[in-house]
Structure 1
Amino acid sequence: MAILDPFGDRFGRVLAAVAVLVVVAGIATAGAFAADPSVATPDPVAYDDTVELGLSSETDELMAGSARVPRVQVFYSQLQYVVGYNGIESFVASVDDGRTERQFGYPLVVHVETFDGGNPGVTEDGLLEAERSTDWVPADEAAYVVGSTARSPAGETVVPFSERTNAETFAAEHGGHVRDWTAARNRSFDVDSAATVRSMAPARWAAADRRVADAEASAAERAGEVVVVGRDAPTIDATVAAAPPNGTVVVPSGTYEETVTVNESVTIAGDDARVRGDGNGSVVTVRAPNVTVSGLTVDGVGNETRDPEAARESAGGDAEEGWDTNVQLGYGHGDAGIRAIGAPGLLVDDVTVETNASGVLLREGSDAVIRDLRVDGSDDWRDGFMGVIGMESRVTITEGRFEGGRDGVYLHRADGSTIRNSTFVGNRYGTHLMYTGDALIADNRFRDAEFGGITVMTRPSGNAIVGNDVRDSSAGIQASGTRSYVGYNTLADNRLGFSTSSRGSLYEHNVAVDNEVGAHATTVVPSSRVVANDFVGNDRHAKAGAGALRIWADGDRGNHWEGADVGLHEPGERAYRPTAPVDAVLHHETAAAVVRESPGAVLLDRLHGTVPGARSGSIVDPSPAPEPYAPDRVAAAREPDPSPVHPEWRVESGLAGDDSTTASTDTMNTHDLNATDGTNVRNGMEARRPTERPRTSAEPEDRR
């Protein structure tokens, strides 16, 4: 490492930065108590003006109409924002986690939404329903029904009333007990969190295994009468049309210049066969369930990436819904090597598509298993489209390779999909999810992504992103939404390793090595846990946008930050602030430790966590780990010609590799702040709702 000369210019700049921060902190101290919160009780605000936590907004459609989730809004002592919680249970779990008070201060005023005059009841699905809410009242003045039959997608629902008699009436009809605020506040709730998503990740892997096995078994069972192209009919299309239901169409080696339409359940089995379209439209179109396409190379695909006429049929009125519909109608109607429309049970196996449009396009419930698919797209992503595009179709993708083109895999309202063991090279986005939750993205390799290796937009919930290796890209992982689990990923030589854009989420055991920025804290109100990650060799280990102080640790377990152990104190004994100007350079300039021990820096340490003005846009790890959690992965990430690093996350996390959904057995405390954004889709209820126009700082607006 370079040595910082205490008499040189660089030392002076660092010391000046400390001096400026001390002055700023002093100014913040002078103004921190200009308004005494004990003098007046703040009135409730419009809920849309709060910073919303709690249930994912993807439940909006599920909760549309008369279904309700009681809401809470909280004024914290050291937070300039009013925080809104969807669910009293979410708020209780949040303040019980031991971290909220340190980040936000203590709750000054809590208002709850009541339902006295709203004719509250329970739907057939067990959801709380009401014609309307009645009023916002101080939490300690309300009466609460706990333990009733009313539920929300996250589990138990506490129902508040202004008048105790109305609460008693509800409890008599729907069960439960009436309690005051103290009793409700001290109650323990089973609220789903990102830890739940972590525990379910191996089960999702196992479910993908079963889907692949079931697809193979189904294809084998359908292997009926065999017809051969060239013997039974002159073309593939004619042979498919002549084949009996569940028959097998064998395509001998050769090049077939035609397009194919499949209207019956058949198997198309190529033997080193190439199907070449005429450059207009899709080459193979499937409009029947339980079809298998294997052993083909497809080219001659048209260049239409979307249907302009279909795209004009947008929802109108609501800009967000209009945008969503525009994408579904536009993107879902372009050209593809294989296009499936209303074709559930599709198996695509050992297929190569050469295209400047899309490789495989699925829409209208074309749930599919795609194995060993190679898509060679355009050299410039602007000239191409998606390797796989799935519209309202659950897809299992395994052992694929996607080179070039716009996005390797683009999924839109494709809940429960799995993308694993695949390679993505030179895409705009490697994997791009929109309005898609409960997905698994695991053990993939991403290289040279123009904008991002893994990008999740539009605030879905419950996605697990584990064991991926992303390098030489603009961003490694950018996942919005709620209840995401981002763990055991290797992020090296990117402009950005990962962002903490998903609320109420868990980021653990990731390795961020030699990136320009290791991690970026982006949410205004921090509600996620970032722990046991390794930050090594990054130009900047982390940065933070505007918002409250972020505490990146879990109790006495923090992250490993190269350089945090430099100084006079024992390793792990002193907090590390990757966003502070002195701490941020410790891994580059070891002599910056002199500045860190200066009286000014010590004063600033004391101000942090007590003065709101000293909190904005900062990260602190109170328990930095002296050694990397995964030294082998750190070393592997720095190999000159590295193979992808895929840790045994199902073993290392202490999770079973079967259908178990039990909690992790590792040392992580699973009762955590992640619950503030917890939501679970229970009893087969699907949560889908467009909530925001997707936006990413890495992508210019005219390229979305």
Structure 2
Amino acid sequence: MAVFDPDSARSRRVRLAAAGLIAVAAVVTAGAFAADPSESVPEPVRFDDTVELGLSSETDALMAGDATLPRVQVFYSQLQYVVGYNGIGPFVESRLDGRTERQFGYPLVAYVETFDHRSPGTTQSGLFSASGAGGWVPVSAARYVVGSDARSPSGDVVVPFREREAAAAFAADHGGSVVGWEVVRTRSFDVDSAATVRSLAPERWRTADERLAAAERRADRPVSVVVGEDAPTVDAAVAAAPPDTTVRVPPGTYEETVTVNRSVTVAGAGSGGGQNDDGVTRVVGNGTGSVITVRASDAALMGLRVAGTGNQTRDPEAARESRGPEGEAWDTNIQLGYGHGDAGIKAVGAPGLVVDDVAVDTNASGLLLREGSHATASGLVVDGTDEWQEGFMGITGMESRVTVTDSRFQGGRDGIYLHRADGSVVRNSTFADNRYGTHLMYTGDALVADNDFRDELFAGVTVMTRPAGNAIVGNEVRNSSAGIQASGTRTYVGYNTLVGNELGFSTSARGSLYEHNVVVDNELGARATTVVPSSRVVANDFVGNDDHATAGAGALRVWADGDRGNYWEGANAGPYADGERAYRPTSPVDGALHRHASAAAVRESPAARLLDALRGTVPGARSGSIVDPSPAAEPHHPERTDAAARGNAGARRAIRADWRSANGSEWDAVATAGGSA
């Protein structure tokens, strides 16, 4: 069996000899299989038993079930887990990124999935497809078709085969040429990264501006019907209004439910922002069901206060209607159940909805969007229940993109819950006393920016179920259980301020970038959670935390980019010049430097030095640890750090980072190579 050769024939002989020793030391770990100690070269495992990197399985699911991705699985010399790459490109790029071998050791053997006798071809949209299960062969033994007409969601796809004849047959049908591994391994692949997401964040902000401006234009319509003059109720006025006109609703209380089934603007005198009753237009339901239901495109609701919703937060009967495959049942049940509760405003199949200057007092959802009801919300105020278990979401978006700005969400379950709502933007808004402030599920390419979160029971920002390409920037989270917990891939978490929380942030997302965050006075500043580190953590400021960082099971995490690390309060204590000595926040001694001055003396003891050397050379001792080889001498953002520590209202004005104007050396300072999370 051929062993993967990253460099030369000579190194192959040396590394093969080491492979047996490493294999003996490897262990089986729950969820991912290690090398068999009885074999000098480990055999392939089921791909489901690897720790996956590269394109996420969610991306694979978005390929509509008819397409597939060639996959690679790799056994590394200093990693007890088998790493699975979705796509050959991400694996090749990992060999060139300057950090993978530093973290995982060299690859003992790499296997590629082949497509002989699997009817390889393309879908109608050009995505690569194949049937059945493939075999695994060492990457050096396979033949590859490059430059064919087959594609993946991220671009070109390299298609591997066991036999040259099968590769040639595919190339004859789909173009391209047949090459060996020595050619593939030197190719450059356009693999999206978290740095790409970082560069797109200002563009997403501008896209939100454009959406809001377009919404304002749509809502500006001539008045055709006035409630109380031309029609007795709001519902009757809407039914009488011609499309593309405005129904004017004077101040007062209107006890009714309303159905908007045409493209009109319903304009009240103002909501009072939920703070006063002077000159307010109130629409009050009867305590059951939704108050306003929208079933038309390009409708607008403005200047209203809405109350009197029912208290049904989901529909169990709708959830039981799920008929999808078992693996999709949970997702479908969530969509059917969560999307069929009561709301102050419910939109069903109503794209282009505009909500402006609306306040909702609700026992369920404030604004419920379903079936492609893409919406903009500006100046929306939702007051939910005091106990989160008794209420629901400020905004519930089910397969409906939402753009939210200058809004407030207090009480209830989640301030904003978005489910398969790619491209959403949540910005310049405030959240308090929710379970989660902003909660994304299966939602990618979103922007969560410049929001304030206070006293959130579980977390300020939470992203679940492996989406890709989200940007979480410029937010401030205080006094919550957690600041930011984002899963998925290619997530950018930057320029946030996390103060006084139980946990500042976790590095749950893979292939992601965490930079320029100010992490002050938390019980725990950061937690490394991914088993296989594949992200970068750099240029963050850790000050005043009880513990700066901890790490769960997994390989050594190097939190730096080359000679550029994070600022850790206490890291430069002792006889060394600034940045001369590595800092290990997970070490009991180093982790105490900012709390106990005497720890600097303990750190220089022979025993501590021996432990440091052990952690640096023995893979087993690296597990569950973090090292910053280049700790910064001063905070990267001293003004923000100082303002966060002071915490008064005047100081907080200095916290907001102007991340949109950051460019040049500021944006480019973090190279594509470096440490991992």
573, 581, 591: which is aligned to 1:584?
A: 591
Is the deviation greater in 494-503 or in 134-143? 134-143
Is the deviation greater in 123-132 or in 205-214? 123-132
Look up the match of 1:437: 444
Change (3 A) 1:556 1:229: same
One-letter identity of the residue aligned with 2:660 = R
Report Cα offsets for 1:312-355 as digits up to 9, x if no partner: 2234661x422212211111111111111111110000000111
Task: Tell me if structure 2 keeps the 8 A contact 1:115–1:132.
Answer: no
DSSP-derived class of the 2:394 partner: strand
291, 312, 322: which is aligned to 2:320?
A: 312
1:166 deviation in Å?
Answer: 2.4
Is the deviation greater in 472-481 or in 223-232? 223-232
Task: Tell me if structure 2 keeps the 8 A contact 1:467–1:489.
Answer: yes
Look up the match of 2:431: 424
1:671 deviation in Å?
Answer: 5.8
1:30 deviation in Å?
Answer: 14
DSSP-derived class of the 2:52 partner: strand
Q: Whose relative contact order is higher, 1 or 2, with alpha carbons under 8 Å and at least 6 apart?
A: 1
Change (3 A) 1:476 1:344: same
Matched, 1:244 2:242: yes
1:387 deviation in Å?
Answer: 0.6
Task: Tell me if structure 1 keeps the 8 A contact 2:127–2:152.
Answer: yes
Look up the match of 2:288: 280
Task: Tell me if structure 2 keeps the 8 A contact 1:93–1:673.
Answer: no
Is the deviation greater in 240-249 or in 106-115? 240-249
Task: Tell me if structure 1 keeps the 8 A contact 2:24–2:38.
Answer: no
Whole-angstrom CA distance in 2 between matches of 1:607 and 1:150: 48
DSSP-derived class of the 1:609 partner: helix
One-letter identity of the residue aligned with 1:593 = A
Change (3 A) 1:537 1:607: same
Matched, 1:338 2:335: no
Map 1:96-495 to 2 at 5 A: 96-220=96-220, 223-271=221-269, 272-315=280-323, 318=326, 320-495=327-502
One-letter identity of the residue aligned with 1:273 = T
1:379 deviation in Å?
Answer: 1.3
Whole-angstrom CA distance in 2 between matches of 1:641 and 1:562: 22
Change (3 A) 1:594 1:301: same
Look up the match of 2:10: none
DSSP-derived class of the 1:519 partner: strand
1:653 deviation in Å?
Answer: 4.4
659, 662, 665: which is aligned to 1:652?
A: 662
Task: Tell me if structure 1 keeps the 8 A contact 2:417–2:440.
Answer: yes
Whole-angstrom CA distance in 2 between matches of 1:670 and 1:418: 26
1:300 deviation in Å?
Answer: 1.0
Whole-angstrom CA distance in 2 between matches of 1:381 and 1:38: 54
Task: Tell me if structure 1 keeps the 8 A contact 2:60–2:68.
Answer: no
Is the deviation greater in 543-552 or in 115-124? 115-124
Whole-angstrom CA distance in 2 between matches of 1:366 and 1:512: 37
Look up the match of 1:557: 564
1:633 deviation in Å?
Answer: 0.7
1:107 deviation in Å?
Answer: 0.2
Whole-angstrom CA distance in 2 between matches of 1:115 and 1:251: 65
Change (3 A) 1:626 1:672: closer
Change (3 A) 1:508 1:653: farther
Matched, 1:611 2:615: no
1:58 deviation in Å?
Answer: 1.1
Is the deviation greater in 151-160 or in 507-516? 151-160
Report Cα offsets for 1:108-159 as digits up to 9, x if no partner: 0111111121122233322112223541001111112223222211222111
Report Cα offsets for 1:576-601 as digits up to 9, x if no partner: 11001000000011221111111111
Is the deviation greater in 260-269 or in 604-613? 604-613
Task: Tell me if structure 1 keeps the 8 A contact 2:23–2:39.
Answer: no
Point out where structure 1 has 5 or more consecutive residues left out of the alignment.
Answer: 1-27, 656-663, 677-704
Task: Tell me if structure 1 keeps the 8 A contact 2:24–2:37.
Answer: no
DSSP-derived class of the 1:361 partner: strand
Whole-angstrom CA distance in 2 between matches of 1:216 and 1:188: 45
DSSP-derived class of the 1:595 partner: helix
Change (3 A) 1:665 1:583: closer
User: How many residues of Structure 1 are paired with residues of Structure 2 in the alignment?
Assistant: 637
Task: Tell me if structure 2 keeps the 8 A contact 1:465–1:487.
Answer: yes
1:574 deviation in Å?
Answer: 0.9
Look up the match of 2:545: 538
Give RMSD over aligned pairs: 2.1
One-letter identity of the residue aligned with 2:332 = T
Report Cα offsets for 1:443-473 as digits up to 9, x if no partner: 0000000000000111111111000000000
One-letter identity of the residue aligned with 2:433 = G
Q: What's the % identity of the aligned pairs?
A: 69
Whole-angstrom CA distance in 1 between matches of 2:222 and 2:500: 51
DSSP-derived class of the 2:477 partner: strand
Change (3 A) 1:376 1:576: same
DSSP-derived class of the 1:525 partner: coil
Task: Tell me if structure 2 keeps the 8 A contact 1:103–1:609.
Answer: no
Task: Tell me if structure 2 keeps the 8 A contact 1:32–1:612.
Answer: no
1:295 deviation in Å?
Answer: 0.4
1:442 deviation in Å?
Answer: 0.4
Look up the match of 1:56: 56
1:31 deviation in Å?
Answer: 8.0
One-letter identity of the residue aligned with 1:286 = V
Look up the match of 1:667: 669
1:178 deviation in Å?
Answer: 2.3
DSSP-derived class of the 1:518 partner: strand
Task: Tell me if structure 1 keeps the 8 A contact 2:571–2:583.
Answer: yes
Whole-angstrom CA distance in 1 between matches of 2:608 and 2:661: 42
Change (3 A) 1:403 1:36: closer
Look up the match of 2:16: none
Look up the match of 1:679: none
Whole-angstrom CA distance in 2 between matches of 1:454 and 1:243: 41
Whole-angstrom CA distance in 1 between matches of 2:554 and 2:439: 27
DSSP-derived class of the 1:60 partner: helix
Task: Tell me if structure 1 keeps the 8 A contact 2:223–2:248.
Answer: no
Report Cα offsets for 1:284-318 as digits up to 9, x if no partner: 11111111100011111111111222122234661
Whole-angstrom CA distance in 2 between matches of 1:201 and 1:462: 10
Whole-angstrom CA distance in 1 between matches of 2:675 and 2:119: 33
One-letter identity of the residue aligned with 1:305 = T
Map 1:58-73 to 2 at 5 A: 58-73=58-73
Whole-angstrom CA distance in 2 between matches of 1:527 and 1:315: 37
Whole-angstrom CA distance in 1 between matches of 2:664 and 2:385: 42
1:36 deviation in Å?
Answer: 11
Is the deviation greater in 511-520 or in 39-48? 39-48
1:38 deviation in Å?
Answer: 11
1:665 deviation in Å?
Answer: 5.2
Report Cα offsets for 1:376-432 as digits up to 9, x if no partner: 111111121111111110100000001111110011111110000000011110001
Task: Tell me if structure 2 keeps the 8 A contact 1:225–1:244.
Answer: no
Point out where structure 2 has 5 or more consecutive residues left out of the alignment.
Answer: 1-20, 28-34, 270-279
Look up the match of 1:687: none
DSSP-derived class of the 2:367 partner: strand
Task: Tell me if structure 2 keeps the 8 A contact 1:532–1:557.
Answer: yes
Whole-angstrom CA distance in 2 between matches of 1:469 and 1:531: 19
